[in-house]
Structure 1
Amino acid sequence: MQQTSNETRPTTTTSPGRHRTRSRLLRSGLAALLAAGGLVAAQSPSAGAADNPYERGPAPTVSSIEASRGHYSVSEARVSSLSVSDFGGGTIYYPTSTSDGTFGAVAISPGYTGTQSSISWLGPRLASQGFVVFTIDTLTTLDQPASRGRQLLAALDYLTERSSVRGRIDGDRLGVMGHSMGGGGSLEAAKSRPALQAAIPLTGWNLDKSWPELRTPTLVVGADGDTIAPVSSHSEPFYESLPGSLDKAYLELNGASHFTPNTSDTTIAKYSVSWLKRFIDNDVRYEQFLCPLPRPSLTIEEYRGNCPHTS
């Protein structure tokens, strides 16, 4: 159910007895080895939760990360452009329930000449997986990547400091995404704020092709049919310039265009959810979808990356 509020406010033959005795000894020995190695505790659900207090939602499956909606019901709040000055307002999508505690947050920018409506499908889709998501409008539709990067950071600051949902957000677990120039902006934001936990440029555009300064785990998404920000001159050099020590990946969509991120797309959502969960929530349950590296398919032209991830 969706609610809306206004933001402005493993044969041998032995005797049965010997077999039972041997079995008991084996079980006892195995139990001791497991306990000594700490594996018993690691297999306990409660121990897993204690190891990572940021896990949110049930154990993931391929079906759950490909679904149009996740575990959480979502509410939304509008932010008027009149109530902010460093970005153009937008819509906050967030899990309705507060029973699981706080959530990580993601700000998403549209591309050149675009408005938040062009990336709005990502709002409820990501929020229902356990994030607070802010799809923003920019100050003008013509804003360049550097400006969009600053606006993404301003939107995150607003979310964590002033918004009506600030109490639902863990301010140390933040990420950025964006389409086209907004994708270029997400790289700019990660460069300016290394503390960000994840960045995902979607068919990103930026005149700056080199990003060796980035310290934020980054998933670069390109499209094989992009003629506006061709992967050969944008997404590929972006990815290749990232530090070798960084957790990073390059996903090139098959049969896709520059504008594929503007409509609901299962492949984009699947890997965005997995990346955000893995790095914003440090949820290693999602590592299975990122490592080993996904293979080419009907929707994936190419996937590169470093595995296993270290963060």
Structure 2
Amino acid sequence: MTHRTTSPWTRRLLAATIGLVMAASTVPAHAAHVGAPVPADAPVNAAGAADHSTLRSTLTEIRRERPELDVDVRTTGMVAVPATTALPNKPVAAVSSTRAALRANGPSAIKTHYVPSKQTPNGMGEALLAYPADKVPVPRPTVLMIAGWGSEFKTLQWLGQRLATHGYVAVMIHPPFKLDWPPRRATALKVAAEWMSTSSPIAPRIDPQRVALYGYSMGGGAVLRASTMIPGLKAVVSAYPWDTKVNFPENRVPTVIMASQDDPTAPPRKFADFMFASMGKAKRAYVEVPVGGHHAPSSTNPHVSETTLIWLGRHLLGDKRYSSLLCPGPGKAEGYSTYAATCPM
């Protein structure tokens, strides 16, 4: 895995904003460690607060020194950062430090493309592709997505299209049979990972060096399995996972697991908790909401949206500006009941 060096202007921006983030945030001042999820209403520490005048001055300097970044001061009441970052020769997704922006569509117009199973390789089924409508295709960070047992594309489509509006390519796939269990879904992901960057209709738009996995339900179990099958992965998002396997000590890819307390199909105490605790050598986070049931990720969901975009921003893009949204993480004010993470990130 490559590590991005933080530039001087980024360090100045972080120094000016980190205190303001902590002061305005209502999330816990500390993050839990492995195997110890903590209540989301832990005390707030606002000791590092920075004032808006310092922040504005820093942004003005950055705008003068790096005009191509189009830095703007957004007075959201929480924090002001560049709304979009386009680093030279490195097209990346839009970045925002406000959770509201991560719960909504991004600024990019998108296109979609359906690929029937007869046009995909053996080992995977049909595919639905969503991507920014660039006039000239450029390689972009890509999220390979798979849903659960018997699911249709509509359970992924809302999130895949949202990711595309934020600058990612979303490759949504089915396994050969929609009733396949996690092992065959994991194999389908491996097949699709090679296909999408070599012979898919949007291969020029795929950056094979920046690939993440997203899975829901049995797909959530499949991405944990596929984490060790696909080389070079940068991030894994497992939403409400179900699998007969719950131990993944071999996993090393940064992984976030989402769950709901009232999930009757994949109760977190039987699945997500064990999966999270078992990955002792991976950077990871655990996010739990109090209500929603098992099917919450299958339609537009603010918690799934922001959690996915934050994790991808930090680990797929390698952008440390997302770190302040992970350490400390979200709390009850944002609609979460439990949060745990291996900090710092």
- TM-score grouping bracket, smaller chain normalisation: 0.7 to 0.9
Q: Could you tell me which residue of structure 2 aligns to residue 279 of structure 1?
A: 315
Q: Which 10-residue stretch deviates more, 52-61 or 294-303?
A: 52-61
Q: Does 1:257 align with 2:261?
A: no
**Greater RCO structure (CA 8 Å; 6+ sep):** 2
Q: Could you tell me which residue of structure 2 aligns to residue 90 of structure 1?
A: 127
Q: CA deviation at 1:279?
A: 0.8
Of 139, 149, 159, which residue of structure 1 is paired with 2:186?
149
Q: Could you tell me which residue of structure 2 aligns to residue 5 of structure 1?
A: none
- Using a 3 Å threshold, how does the CA distance of structure 1 residues 192 and 172 change in structure 2: closer, same or farther? same
**Number of corresponding residues:** 270
Give the conservation status (yes or no) of the 8 Å contact 1:271–1:290: no
2:168 & 2:8 partners in 1: Cα distance? Answer: 30
Q: Could you tell me which residue of structure 1 aligns to residue 48 of structure 2?
A: none
Identity fraction in percent: 26
2:313 & 2:11 partners in 1: Cα distance? Answer: 20
Of 195, 199, 202, which residue of structure 2 is paired with 1:158?
195
Alignment deviations for residues 182-230 of structure 1 (CA, whole Å, 9 cap, x no partner): 1100101102225211111111111111111111100001111111111
- Using a 3 Å threshold, how does the CA distance of structure 1 residues 40 and 152 change in structure 2: closer, same or farther? closer
Q: CA deviation at 1:164?
A: 2.0
Q: Could you tell me which residue of structure 1 aligns to residue 344 of structure 2?
A: 308
Paired amino acid for 2:302: T
Q: CA deviation at 1:157?
A: 1.6
Larger radius of gyration: 1
2:259 & 2:301 partners in 1: Cα distance? Answer: 13
Q: Could you tell me which residue of structure 2 aligns to residue 104 of structure 1?
A: 141
Q: CA deviation at 1:110?
A: 1.3
Paired amino acid for 1:142: L
Give the conservation status (yes or no) of the 8 Å contact 2:125–2:176: yes
Q: CA deviation at 1:117?
A: 2.0
Q: Does 1:124 align with 2:124?
A: no
Q: CA deviation at 1:115?
A: 2.0
Q: Could you tell me which residue of structure 1 aligns to residue 56 of structure 2?
A: none
- Using a 3 Å threshold, how does the CA distance of structure 1 residues 287 and 164 change in structure 2: closer, same or farther? same
Q: Could you tell me which residue of structure 1 aligns to residue 218 of structure 2?
A: 181
Give the conservation status (yes or no) of the 8 Å contact 2:242–2:271: yes
Paired amino acid for 1:303: Y
Point out where structure 2 has 5 or more consecutive residues left out of the alignment.
1-6, 13-61, 70-84
Point out where structure 1 has 5 or more consecutive residues left out of the alignment.
1-37
Q: Could you tell me which residue of structure 2 aligns to residue 221 of structure 1?
A: 258
Q: CA deviation at 1:100?
A: 9.1
Alignment deviations for residues 151-186 of structure 1 (CA, whole Å, 9 cap, x no partner): 112222221111121111210110111111111001
